[in-house]
Chain A
């Protein structure tokens, strides 16, 4: 019964979303306020209905209702409760429901917090959101219905892929989807602006918080995915350039460009058509990612069960959404008037450079991801590009952008003083030089690129501090004065500093991976494995029963210089239902380095393969991402998002900004 309710709720949500896409749009065209107001309520009702459908599906999973095909295929009574709940989105159908649910969250938030928008813009934005929801609800109902019944009910289910039975599943997909789907708001604003033919500083100010929030969610989502891969695959890697990872990374790159270019629109009333294009592309790449993952055109570790009908449907959605918005762009964007001019060396110029490099980076990743597909379609030789391609193309593109992260914020709007900025960054050169020398000395002249990577990280981090010190006139004004300035500095400025500093922290983490030390040996119980000054003694391996697996649980005593440091328990878990083994690594971290222990195979004679890594600074990769997302959130709390709404009425010219004012 509840399952059918969920199904009906989804069908009703489709009807409501159709209303949401048409009525406000017509209302806005005719100037009918009552029709425009439908958008808000429709969005709220649609969200409630999708939430109901989600709850119904969750109910079927939690109660193990094996008359529902989706539950039979993906669940099992032995599965712990956590994975019965999160297993809802551990499969294609359920994850699409999560997708639409997140879209509902965004639409409802938009409906609630858009009271300060002009009614016609608000109506159009909500209508575009409604269209996206319509497309995906149709997709679910026609090709991927999670509420299908089977008769007679199965005695038990097939279970969830053991690799997914991890707490990571509870957080990684929801954050990732919130990020993907959140970019739909920027997309809706872009399409609405094209329909209206009007983009101004007020528009940029409305869009930016939504883009920023989605960017934060996506940053967290990607970082969590990477961390999950790191601790669960038992291989110590944290990024594989897998097509699906790339699918999430591309919207992140363009989204990063977008949050920077929208600053230019807001402050300087220029780069409008470019910003609109970025907003469209960011969400388009989220859609392309969905297509790649679910159509089966590329093989990846994340692949869902594929079905050509689904691929065709999503492709149709892509053509309507992306093709439609880009057609609108081609027709309307040329008439958007640019505002203030600026010199190449200026804050704007630096942001243009940032945008160019991020877009090129994204194009590279897109090319590398789709290259095998292109060649295959035209019948050419079949090649695969992996790590080598990305390391040789993407990484060099990112070096200049990292250098620019330090300089850009030091330049003033309109016309900057590059030489002056470079002089004022003196401390950053010193920091970079010291970092390079220390890294060179400590690693005994390790790989030169990694050593330079530390230099880049130190450069960026120091430049952030220098920029902040300048704003508060540290040591140049009385301490009390500096303190007052530090307190009154806009939150957006702190947000930027945190985000850029987070980048520096992550870069240090990436660079340090060149210095990983690993040891792998077959050891007997009671014997040792040595890695990076630590001695790991395999004390015991016990067979322990888990809820739906059998674990070989190792007791490994870690000692250093004769003193016991820690006792850890890496495991191998065997899932009889799926006949699969997963590895549960043990990671001992002190935030400066990880000691990573994984248990391998045994040869029935009491010998176990033990694998250990010492990974310096690896936690910094994710700490950096968290700092970046935190920066985004700090910026989001800036008061100008809450008070800037009346700006459009003024139709102000370019705002004059003091040189280093903001």
Chain B
């Protein structure tokens, strides 16, 4: 019995190591959405707005848009923020924000300080919509085409390379089609 106790740390570590190994599987790239969601309709949502008008999936149809999940308590979001500003101001990309599990007043302060790249911001205070999308953490960014289908998902802060190599070319091709 005593010996079993001394085995416990090893067993705990083995379970942990198994999880780590599964997390490293090449087919589970945290930057990619499980392929099941790609080219499917985005989950339906209709959220109250941070300022005035809300955000609803069906109202976004017609042109390709970005859906960006963010929160004021999220540090990586602040890292990607300048890129979103650039996308909105220089590339004129339509970005809709979903404020995830956050206090509206905190989000308001965030946008007042760092600038507001969003056309509109929807409030997802209980994280319901995030759950439907399968949000892994904030920030996450989804590309929706004009029909409301998810075409691409970016997990974690966007990088300049992702924007230039993946995001902008994809948006251009979606706009043309």
Name A's B-contacting residues (CB within 8 A). 163, 233-235, 240, 242, 273, 277, 280-281, 284, 288, 291, 295-301, 303, 308, 311-312, 315, 318-319, 322-323, 326-327, 329-330, 333-334, 370, 372-374, 376-377, 381-384, 386-387, 518, 520, 522, 578-581, 598, 600-601, 609, 611
Contact = CB atoms under 8 A, between A and B. Distances in A.
Interface string B65-106: 000000101111011001100100000000000000100000
A323 B112 contact: no
A291 B138 CA distance: 21
A311 B24 contact: yes
Nearest to B7: A330
Contacts of B162: none
Give chain B's interface residue range (CB within 8 Å of chain A): 35 or more
25 contacts: A240-B73, A281-B9, A297-B23, A298-B30, A300-B76, A301-B76, A308-B24, A319-B17, A323-B10, A323-B17, A326-B10, A330-B3, A330-B6, A330-B10, A370-B19, A373-B23, A376-B23, A376-B28, A377-B23, A377-B28, A384-B136, A384-B138, A600-B114, A601-B114, A609-B113
B26 interface: yes
| Best-surrounded residue of B127, B131, B156 (most CB of chain A within 10 A) | B156
Contacts, number: 127
B54 interface: no
B101 A386 contact: yes
Q: Which 4 A-B pairs have the closest CB atoms?
A: A299-B156, A326-B10, A600-B113, A384-B137
Interface string B113-135: 11100000000000100010011
Given A235-B78, A381-B131, A520-B113, A579 B160 contact: yes
B14 interface: yes
Contacts of B7: 330
Given A299-B30, A311-B24, A329-B9, A163 B14 contact: no
Interface of B: 2-3, 6-7, 9-10, 13-14, 16-17, 19-24, 26, 28, 30, 71, 73-76, 78-79, 82-83, 86, 101, 109, 112-115, 127, 131, 134-138, 155-157, 160
A579 B155 CA distance: 21
Given A297-B30, A376-B28, 20 more contacts: A235-B78, A242-B75, A297-B20, A299-B156, A301-B76, A301-B78, A311-B24, A312-B24, A315-B20, A322-B17, A326-B9, A330-B7, A330-B10, A333-B6, A383-B131, A384-B138, A386-B101, A520-B112, A520-B113, A522-B112
B9 to A, nearest CB: 5
Nearest to B9: A326
Contacts of B101: 384, 386
Contacts of A333: 6
Contacts of B14: 323
Given A308-B24, A329-B10, A384 B19 contact: no
Contacts of A580: 82
Contacts of A298: 30
Contacts of A323: 10, 13-14, 17
B36 to A, nearest CB: 11
